Amino acid sequence: MAKPWMTMIIAVLAGAANAASVRPTIPIYDAASLAEACGTGLADAARLIKRLETMPLGNAGARDLLDRWDRLRIRLEDFEGPVDLTANVSPDAATRSAAEACESKTTRFETELSAAEARASLARGDCRAAARHVAALHARRGGWLLGLASRMLELAPSVVIAAFRMKQRLRGAA
């Protein structure tokens, strides 16, 4: 006669075997489906950004705002990861090329997002956030001007903010 605990162990192991068959997967792209996924992913991310920008902050709680930001980051990473992998391991040259083009578009998108965050931080006078965003831009793009702006935000943040605001007023007057 089987012992009850033995029956229970068998049932648990059978359940674990069934659960193991359901696992996360990544999409396997060809050149055409990758280009479509890239366009869709970037459009979704842009839509999520618009929703963030139009969110009435007076009524928004921190949790709602952070949840929306998380959804944006998750959406970007959900399609960037498989695209990056495809660019590096696909045996098809056309698919690798499409993946590299998508990586370029996502890098541009992320750079524009960081630049917008830096400008918004400067406009509100938030030196610490502006310094973080400009440093991230410098790390991504390099360049002496971003390096100088990053260093100036560390050393003389009020000067950088005053210069930014003056530049904005001059642009508005033109």
Q: Write down the pLDDT at residue 95.
A: 94
Helix axes 127-141, 93-124, angle to 10 degrees: 160
Residues 136 and 105 placed together within one structural domain of the fold = no
Domain match, 105 and 129 both = no
At 35-79, the pLDDT tens digits run: 999 999 999 888 888 887 777 766 667 777 788 888 888 888 888
User: Residue 5 — φ and ψ, nearest 5°?
Assistant: -70, -30
Q: So what's the pLDDT on residue 54? A: 79
Residues of the chain with pLDDT under 70: 1-22, 57-60, 173-174
Query: Can you give the pLDDT at residue 36?
Result: 94
Give every CB contact of residue 30 below 8 A, 6+ residues apart in sequence.
92, 94, 95
Q: In terms of residue numbers, what domain contains 157?
A: 125-174
pTM as predicted: 0.71
Q: Are 103 and 88 in contact (CB under 8 A)?
A: no
Number of domains making up the chain = 2
Task: Please give the pLDDT value at position 10.
Answer: 65
pLDDT for res 51: 82
Tell me, yes or no, whether 89 and 137 share the same domain. Answer: no
CATH code, domain carrying 70: 1.20.1050.40
Give residue 14's pLDDT: 63
pLDDT (0 to 100) of residue 88: 92
Q: Which of 79, 110, 141 is the last residue of a domain?
A: 110
- CA separation for the pair 163, 141 (Å, rounded): 22
**Interatomic CA distance for residues 41 and 166, integer angstroms:** 37
In this structure, the number of other CB atoms found within 10 A of the CB of residue 74 comes to 10
Give pLDDT, residue 125: 86
